[in-house]
Amino acid sequence: MASATSTLVAVFLTCVAVLLGLPFLILWTWLAGNPDLMYRTSMKFCRFAVRLVGIRVRVEGIENIPPGPCVFAANHASNLDAPILFPAIPRRISVLAKRELFGLPVLGLGMRLAGFVAVDRAAKQAGSGVAMAVSTLKEGLSVFVFPEGTRSPNGRLQPFKKGAFAMAMEAEAPVVPVAIVGTYRLLPRDKWVVHPGEVVVRFGPAVDTAAYTATQRTELLARVESLVAVALPPDQQPEQQAAPPADTA
């Protein structure tokens, strides 16, 4: 009951913050021409909401984040991932997010002003979003992406898609693998009550895309995916594929 109550309170306060507080931050951003205040305030609220539902966040490997613009690539197991992870990144970032979110009143406008990039899930429509993200990286702003494309149905790491790595290679930006541990246990897919507990955010060693040629995008993907997987506990690592039957002939 306590978990359900704290979840409802957090959802209510989030709605109030978006509908009543965010418009003033949007206006300030428009007048000042700078989204930093809106971004910092939003991250502070995320931290507050996460603490409110009883989640403790432990961050490891922060020293692995390079000083310049980079691509953060993380596993995605729960709706808790974004509000936990984004405040843990010690800089303002752009985010590749599904286009449907940009159609939400107030929130969508705030995301645009913050420099977030809308991406269509359809492969044929995703190119424009990737091109915008490349421009964002070249302008000096780091970009975050969930390379799985959607939340895992069972909490285990799913195969990565290639778009994020093509983007990183074109922008010549390093990729920072990020492992988010514990969110699926606290809020599984298709559930709404958040359970208290600890979440660990692990930043792995950055992968230099300059070490890969244009024809080695698959190798870059595999390297980053393996670094995320090895930083996850066994119950979040990819399921082992069954070995082929032995040849008895």
Domains in the chain, please, with CATH?
Answer: 56-235 (3.40.1130.10)
* pLDDT for res 214: 83
Whether residue 228 contacts residue 74, with contact meaning beta carbons closer than 8 Å, is answered with yes
Q: What's the sign of the alpha-carbon dihedral 160, 43, 171, 30?
A: positive
For the residues of 74-104, what is the DSSP string, one character each? E---STTHHHHHGGGSSS-EEEEEEGGGGGS
User: CA–CA separation, 47 vs 172, rounded Å?
Assistant: 32
Residue 227's nearest CA partner among 89, 77, 64, 85 is 64
User: CA–CA separation, 149 vs 6, rounded Å?
Assistant: 29
* pLDDT for res 243: 41
* pLDDT for res 216: 92
User: CA–CA separation, 163 vs 125, rounded Å?
Assistant: 12
* pLDDT for res 190: 87
Q: Which residue ranges of the chain lie beneath pLDDT 70?
A: 1, 121-128, 241-249
User: CA–CA separation, 78 vs 53, rounded Å?
Assistant: 15
* pLDDT for res 120: 77
**For residue range 17-53, what is the model confidence (pLDDT) as tens digits?**
999 999 999 999 999 999 999 999 999 999 999 999 9
Report the 10 Å Cβ neighbour count for 191: 13
Whether residue 147 contacts residue 177, with contact meaning beta carbons closer than 8 Å, is answered with no
